[in-house]
Amino acid sequence: MPTIGVVLLTQGTRPAELRRGAESLLAQRGVALDIVCVGNGWVPTGFPDALRTLALPENVGIPAGRNAGAAVVSGEYVFFLDDDASLPSPTFLADAVARLRADPSIGLLQPRVVDPEGRENPRRWVPRIRKGSPEQSGPVFSVWEGATLLPRAVFDRTGGWAAPFFYAHEGIELAWRVWDQGLRTWYEGTLVANHPAIEPSRHAYYYRLNARNRVWLAKRNLPAVLVPLYVGSWTGIQLLRWARRPAALKAWFGGWAEGWRSDAGERRPMSWRTVLRMAAAGRPPIV
């Protein structure tokens, strides 16, 4: 029976969704789970004994919160679930592990994401440029972070989620660091996780972190010559995307400048072999 350490991350602001996600974990069959609910600046209470809790005294950000949970769970695999996501099938985790075991070249798996009420699913949930059918599986170079499964050894070699990011783009770094191990990050369209199809609010804080972390992502992970190419391509994309939204661009360029001025943390540039593998698979780490 596969053993899986599960990290359920929450700030305690969505109690109904959190309970739904916790119940979907406890309903899983064919796997042995070590589950911890991490309260990011909140004390989790009222859970069954099968689900441990970890209260962080303050909100340390999404990636650091996930890392805190990963440090206290054990298992051959590690699974991360956000508090507004849930697993509709009681065999989801057993099926996901079977997919990883059937193809050892896969180092990280993201399922297809579906709104449980039947609303139209955002295209951003399919993490590839040419979206195609959401049911189509294939290699990807970023992930929707709300439900992700990795072999524990692979996760440990990545160094964990990018704690300094706080929010935004940590799924890109994790995916890149899986590729840099000679493995692939995989979108599995036959497996489904549920998440409400609600557009997140966009505010100056979002735009600033989006830009800062884009620069940090490049500084931390790319060969030096590719850093300005990657940031430059995304600068052009944002100029086109938000040309008619000067307030968004102002906040974005504030984060852009902060990213260049500030320390991005640990630098682990990927190998040129990884760059070539990613390019051959459809997306060089420039766009």
* Helix (H), strand (E), coil (C) string for 46-100: CCCCCEEEEEECCCCCHHHHHHHHHCCCCCCEEEEEECCCECCCCCHHHHHHHHH
Can you tell me the distance from the alpha carbon of 224 to that of 152, in angstroms, rounded to the nearest whole number? 29
In the chain, the domains with their CATH numbers are: 3-194 (3.90.550.10), 204-269 (no CATH)
- Non-local (6+) Cβ contacts of 231 within 8 A are 214, 215, 218, 256
Spatial contact of 91 and 98, defined as CB atoms under 8 Å apart: no
Residue given tokens 């139209």 in the structure block: 120
pLDDT at 241: 85
pLDDT the model gives residue 201: 62
> Looking at residue 203, what is its pLDDT?
76
Helices 204-221, 246-261: axis angle to 10 degrees equals 40
pLDDT at residue 6 in the model? 98
pLDDT tens digit sequence for 109-163: 999 999 999 999 989 999 998 899 999 999 999 999 999 999 999 999 999 999 9
Residues of the chain with pLDDT under 50: none
Kindly state the tokens that stand for 61: 């950000």
How much is the pLDDT for 244? 86
Max CA distance (Å), the chain: 54
189 Cα distance to chain centroid? 16
Distances (CA, A) of 165 to 1, 102, 256, 265: 35, 33, 13, 10
